[in-house]
Chains A and B, each alone.
Chain A
Amino acid sequence: MLLHDTALIYGRYLRQSLRSRFALLFGVLMPLLYLLFFGPLLTDLPLGDEGSSWQVLVPGLLLQLGLFGASFAGFSIIIEKGQGVVERMRVTPVSRLALLLGRVLRDATVFVFQAVLLVLAALVMGLRVPLPGVLIGFAFVALLTVSLASLSYALAMKVRTPQEFGPAINAMTMPMMLLSGLMLPMTLGPTWLDVLSHFVPFRYLVDAVRDAYIGSYATAHMLYGVLVALAFTALAVTVGTRVFRTAGA
């Protein structure tokens, strides 16, 4: 039943995304601008021990896409709450977990699609990367999207007014972006900043994808990245399901 319901909810929201093709393409605009106007600044800088600066920048942009995109996923459910769609579905026997999973899997699909566009653009700009590395990068984007979108939906179900939601999300995503070394590797900074950034879960995902982009797959970074991503996803989906199960007000 869970599979049936998840597929049903996934289909409904995927069709919703396909109806707004404009939004589908627009989501990739911010990382694309970074690629175009920020990437060239780094071309000649020695950012990593191995590989070109593109192999450092593009993994960061991929996760930035997931971070900003998925964190705001909850906005759509705030609108649907107002329309009464959420309650109408919760009166049916549909699985509560499916109401969440169908939505977050749709988000993962959308952001992996946007990640593909971003990588294609980066290849044109001069990125060179092994194929397994690219695929690993997409897998991390998918996990990140599933976890952040789950938390975003959970928060959106809880906030009383839509006006609270945007600032709350911004307050969480900005420090996470700055402290995870999405833009530039944290190892370039002073020690205190590097140490601080190890308390931000994304740091491990970014390091892992950067390793994947230079073709080193069996590293400590990769291990920590996979563990943190999986643990974070499990935690986020658990929190999200709990909120969907009990959501009252």
Chain B
Amino acid sequence: MPIISTAGLARTFQTKLGPVQAVRGIDLAVREGEILGFLGPNGAGKTTTLRMLTTLLAPTGGAATVAGCDLATDPAGVRRACGYVAQSGGVDPQITVREELVTQGRLYRLTKTQATERAEELARDLGLTDLLDRKAGALSGGQRRRLDIAMALTHRPKVLFLDEPTTGLDPGSRADLWDLIRRLRDEHGTTVFLTTHYLDEADALSDRLVIVDKGVVVAEGTPSALKLQYGGSIDASLQDTFLAITGRSATQADAAPVAV
């Protein structure tokens, strides 16, 4: 049984200019222990889908289950089963790493002692031990990301949702984060559902890709299968494959000018 499955999951926003269909109907099945790359152009509905699957946003159509819990009838179960790292992260820069981790543990109903132990364990696991008494605002970009992920792993979730986890990181920190994500899956069997705009990242990290455009799934498969099917050859770049699928050519008439 898939750990995440959705059927016709949709979200329409009501705006002054009329309804906007951010997500039109997503059908997905994610296997347990899979690293799934969720790709798509800006505005394709990736973040909206993630926010629905993590109970932050109520769907306006369709249904979904995460770790066997129905999104509509058992949001508490979904929250227990999943961790979420938003694009913006989610820590107060004025608060120390230790306090944020302990408070997070307490929000997951650990006792004070358990939360303190869990904070130290997470810090050890994610290389934050020497930073525990630093304020979150004093961390580097890569350290901040590791803290965000540590926060999301507090309750050992079965599914981890990462929204553009490596945006803004230097190449070294990105590579570290890739290793961390692989290690999570290999050691704990965590299912990782991540969005990214870096196609090399999707290529290197994901077992399977799901490409969305204008609020629907337009293609899915392993990176090589997609390259073969849409890029014309298994040696095609994921960049060309992606552009072939979403129908945006690299040499559009309105492309940015070379010099201004």
Contacts and interface: CB of A to CB of B under 8 A. Distances in A.
Interface stretch (B50-58, B123-131, B181-189): B50-58
B2 interface: no
A3 B212 CA distance: 43
Contacts, number: 67
Interface stretch (B79-87, B169-177, B216-224, B226-234): B79-87
A5 interface: yes
Nearest to B11: A248
A92 B153 CA distance: 11
Contacts of A87: 51, 56, 84, 86, 90
A190 interface: no
Interface residues of B, number: 31
Chain B's interface: helix, strand, loop or mixed, by majority?
Answer: loop
B88 A91 contact: no
B114 interface: no
A93 B76 contact: yes
Given A83-B88, A93-B76, A93-B80, A4 B109 contact: yes
A82 B88 contact: yes
Nearest to B78: A91
A249 B86 CA distance: 14
Contacts of B104: 92
Contacts of B56: 87, 90-91, 248
State the majority secondary structure of interface residues on A.
Answer: helix
B103 interface: yes
A90 B75 CA distance: 11
Contacts of B89: 83-84, 88
A8 B84 contact: no
B94 interface: yes
Interface string A1-20: 10011001000100110010
Given A16-B95, A84-B91, 8 more contacts: A1-B109, A83-B88, A84-B86, A87-B84, A88-B90, A90-B55, A91-B84, A92-B79
Nearest to B83: A91
Contact of A85 (B13, B51, B92, B108): B92
Nearest to A249: B13
A8 B88 contact: no
A230 interface: no
Given A88-B151, A248-B56, A93 B108 contact: yes
A84 B88 contact: yes
Nearest to B106: A8
